[in-house]
Structure 1
Amino acid sequence: MTKPKIGKYIPIGIIILFGIYLIWGVSDRNEKLTELKTYYTVGKIIDYKRGAKVSPSWTYEFYDGEKIREVSHFMDDNFSGKSDSDWKPYIGKKFFVKYSAIKPLYNEIYLDKPAPDSIVKCDKCKFEKIPTE
């Protein structure tokens, strides 16, 4: 009678735990960005990075009511495969950023909603919804 080898189940267990952790993280982020305690502010794109093996990402900064945060997020599919000349016009531009008041690291930048000239200098303002002007 042979005993089953536990060693082959350990990698499978680690993969399953990692998958559960990823699913929890995504659902937690989505929950925090859809709850009532979210705000909008003006964020500024300061850089972009693209690598050979990773997806390109934007680096932007915004004020969350306590401090200025600098974060990176992967670009959406509209920018994949584009050249540097397509990305450079976004550097220094300001767009609206939505963030969770409870966990400001949960945030997203709206590249389709540039900040209007009337509030572009309002870096430390926060809004309950995106202002129209």
Structure 2
Amino acid sequence: MNLELALRMCEAGLKQAAREGALISVAVVDAGGHLVTFQRMEGAEIAGPVLAPGKAYTSVANRMSTADLHPLTLPGGELYGLAGDRFVCFGGGIPLWADYGEGERVVGGVGVSGGTVAQDVACAEAAASVWRTR
């Protein structure tokens, strides 16, 4: 993960948000869950600077999308109680995978917040597609 690629990913997420009619924040983190870049659209919700990086971090830490993680964290779910200070367990976070010859591993994540869950997921997918086609 590098800054140039992360910025292109954010731009793709923002463009998708414009198509969706959403005002979002988007964050890209590295394999350690550390913020590489963050962008917030003018007028986006005030929680975005916390939720977008949180979704990106959560997707890296759990090696799965936060949309897939969400049902596992509900009462009776295998990971019930996981959500807390650092984990944001609803749609909008996607891990980024790379193959280094020894199998795939998570090398970063993208997180989006500000729209509906469906809009956040669509914007995160747009950003992740930049990674996949790099």
Normalization by structure 2: what TM-score? 0.25
Pair member with larger Rg: 1
Q: Which has the higher strand share?
A: 1
